[in-house]
Structure 1
Amino acid sequence: MFMHNKKLMYTVRVGEPNPALATLMLEQFGGPQGELAAAMRYFTQGLAESDPGRKDMLLDIATEELSHLEIIGSIICMLTKSTQGKLAEGDEEVAALYADITQGGESHTHAILYGGGPALVNSAGVPWTAAYIDTIGDPACDLRSNIAAESRAKIVYERLINVTDDPGIKDALGFLMTREIAHQKSFEKALYSMQPNFPPGKLPGMPDFTDVYFDMSQDGFDTAGEPADADALDRGPWNTGPEWTIVSDREAQAAVDGGDGTATVKLTAKEKKTAKNFATRTASDPGSDPTTGADLGAGPGAGATKKTRELVDADAE
């Protein structure tokens, strides 16, 4: 059961209307890293959670995210307060009103379609979608995803703080950004309270490959663009130390299972005949050189075509 407290979780003080800034703020209202996406992610995870402690944590944070949605929505409404009235009442000269709602970004779309209200779209006007929710139903996976989501949201808030000089907005955004840190801490604690928590899921990895690093980045260049020893460029804790076996040989990176590296399937006699007929019917003739539309319609920039080769041969004769 949810109850609405009319007091915001954090006081919103906006110095002056700014429709363009309101449009940017929509990113945290209806965007992929926004508060609604976070609330729905944790709420659905919490409903399915079987651990009582994690269930409470997820539902607590989901509820708090809804309060954050209210804060960011209130900021948007305050930033568009003057535009809302002007659009509704039409009490301003056309040119002045047009200037108000076209300050930059998608502010004109925000104003005309949504009346300056906090629409469930991101800052580019893309509608909110449940596809933002990447829950997969395994706590070790979902908690890691939640940690990443909180990290991304913190970065978006940092960027929003950097594009406004309004002290009241900076203060409120700073609070929202800080709560992303607190939630990340809770999710990390919950993750590491599960032992073991890596790898996610029940099945173990194949022991022959869990400690292998395939060195695919060879013939490297340094920061000045000069050729450098690849071994010196791509070494770090992600592939060095006693727990890692590095495979740099190109031949050893193929067919690592010891097989021949081909793809096979068992077919019935009828399926084999059908597959062979299809391959025969669609086979290419490598000895042919047909004239195509690319040859007939070739113009400047088309590169070498059959037509140009014929002209070269004619000149040679």
Structure 2
Amino acid sequence: MFFHVKELQYRAKPAKPDPVYARKLQEVLGGQFGEMSVMMQYLFQGFNCRAEKKYRDMLLDIGTEEIGHVEMLCTMISQLLDGAPADQVDEAAKDPLLAAVMGGMNPQHAIVSGLGAAPTDSNGYPWNSKYIISSGHLLADFRANLNAESQGLLQVVRLYEQTTDPGIRDMLSFMISRDIMHQNQWMAAIAEIEQMDGVIVPASFPRERTVEPATRQFLNFSEGEESAEGAWASGPLPDGTGNFEYVAKPQPMGEAPVLSVPADHQHSVPGTGPYVVNPGVEPLGE
């Protein structure tokens, strides 16, 4: 059961309307790494969680908080759209500076959502469930959560630097603070699970069934050997099974593929052997 409290988790009131910035905020609302994505990701992971109750409870705690962040962003976007465009469009045409500002707004805010937020990104692309990850494997999911919070925080910080509105910055400061906290939570949870189950996902695949040398080799597949200087190319493997090995010049381990051609697609061309053409289409060359 969910219970909605009318008060927002934190303040969400701009100093003045700004329809262009409202469009920008749509990215951290309905974009790939926006609040709608982490809300749905954490809630679905929680709903589907079969592990210890503490993990399910944590997921639902954070996921439910993200519902509140979605509401905060919607509230901020709606207020940034107040007064624009209905009674300002005509005046905007008379003022080149204002016209430029109004021209950068999302027209769907006026046409579709009635000067309100929409479940879309900053270009109007609809939010979709392909953005979220809920695999049922805690370590894999928590690493995805850490990535989502990292990318989301990066975008919010960039947006913070693109405004001087004290009200917007106040709300974004709070959201940045919570994203920092959530990154720390996921890192703590990841470390706890790695301590129990190891660092490889999944840990259940028998190592004797792997191509063992391939589990430790760093293959230099691009020009230059600067990558050999990293901790990922020498020293102990994080999973504790051996050491990294740097292979400066990887060699093919398989053979060149030779594929058979279906009989109804074969034509005999002297000196060239069989080749594939579209059925019923005659060759144009000699």
- The reply to whether TM is greater than 0.5 is yes
Q: Write out per-residue CA displacement over residues 32-82 of structure 1, whole angstroms, 9 at most, x where no aligned residue.
A: 111111111000000111221110000000000000011111110110111
Show structure 1 runs of 5+ residues with no match. 221-229, 266-271, 293-317
Work out whether residues 19 and 100 of structure 1, in 8 Å CA contact, stay in contact via their aligned partners in 2: no
Which residue, out of 214, 217, 222, partners 1:217?
222
Q: Which residue of 2 aligns with 1:26?
A: 26
Q: What amino acid is the match of 1:236?
A: G
Which residue, out of 238, 245, 248, partners 2:232?
238
1:279/1:54 CA distance change after superposition, 3 Å: same
Q: Which residue of 2 aligns with 1:44?
A: 44
1:5/1:283 CA distance change after superposition, 3 Å: farther
Q: Which residue of 1 aligns with 2:114?
A: 115
Work out whether residues 153 and 177 of structure 1, in 8 Å CA contact, stay in contact via their aligned partners in 2: no
Q: Write out per-residue CA displacement over residues 272-310 of structure 1, whole angstroms, 9 at most, x where no aligned residue.
A: 8xx5514523879759xx878xxxxxxxxxxxxxxxxxx
Work out whether residues 37 and 132 of structure 2, in 8 Å CA contact, stay in contact via their aligned partners in 1: yes
Work out whether residues 105 and 124 of structure 1, in 8 Å CA contact, stay in contact via their aligned partners in 2: no
TM-score by length of 1: 0.74
User: What count of residue pairs does the alignment treat as equivalent?
Assistant: 261
Give yes or no for the alignment of 1:172 onto 2:174: no
1:110/1:93 CA distance change after superposition, 3 Å: closer
Show structure 2 runs of 5+ residues with no match. 237-242, 274-282
Work out whether residues 22 and 105 of structure 2, in 8 Å CA contact, stay in contact via their aligned partners in 1: no
1:233/1:188 CA distance change after superposition, 3 Å: closer
Give 1 or 2 for the bigger CA radius of gyration.
Answer: 1
Work out whether residues 140 and 197 of structure 1, in 8 Å CA contact, stay in contact via their aligned partners in 2: no
Distance 2:105 2:119 in 1: 14
Shift of 1:156: 0.8
Q: Write out per-residue CA displacement over residues 243-267 of structure 1, whole angstroms, 9 at most, x where no aligned residue.
A: 11112224xx311xxxx435589xx
Q: What amino acid is the match of 1:165?
A: T
Distance 1:60 1:73 in 2: 21
Work out whether residues 33 and 151 of structure 2, in 8 Å CA contact, stay in contact via their aligned partners in 1: yes
Q: Map of 1:178-217 to 2, 5 A cutoff?
A: 178-194=177-193, 195-201=196-202, 202-205=204-207, 206=210, 207-217=212-222
TM-score by length of 2: 0.81
Give yes or no for the alignment of 1:96 onto 2:91: yes
Q: Which residue of 2 aligns with 1:300?
A: none
Q: What amino acid is the match of 1:151?
A: S
Question: What SS does the corresponding residue of 1:103 show, helix, strand or coil?
Answer: helix
Question: What SS does the corresponding residue of 2:213 show, helix, strand or coil?
Answer: coil
Distance 2:270 2:34 in 1: 52
1:93/1:121 CA distance change after superposition, 3 Å: closer
1:93/1:36 CA distance change after superposition, 3 Å: closer
Q: Map of 1:266-285 to 2, 5 A cutoff?
A: 275=261, 277-278=263-264, 280-281=266-267
Q: What amino acid is the match of 1:23?
A: R
Distance 2:227 2:139 in 1: 32
Q: Write out per-residue CA displacement over residues 183-204 of structure 1, whole angstroms, 9 at most, x where no aligned residue.
A: 1111111122111242111214
Distance 1:2 1:155 in 2: 30
Work out whether residues 143 and 190 of structure 2, in 8 Å CA contact, stay in contact via their aligned partners in 1: yes
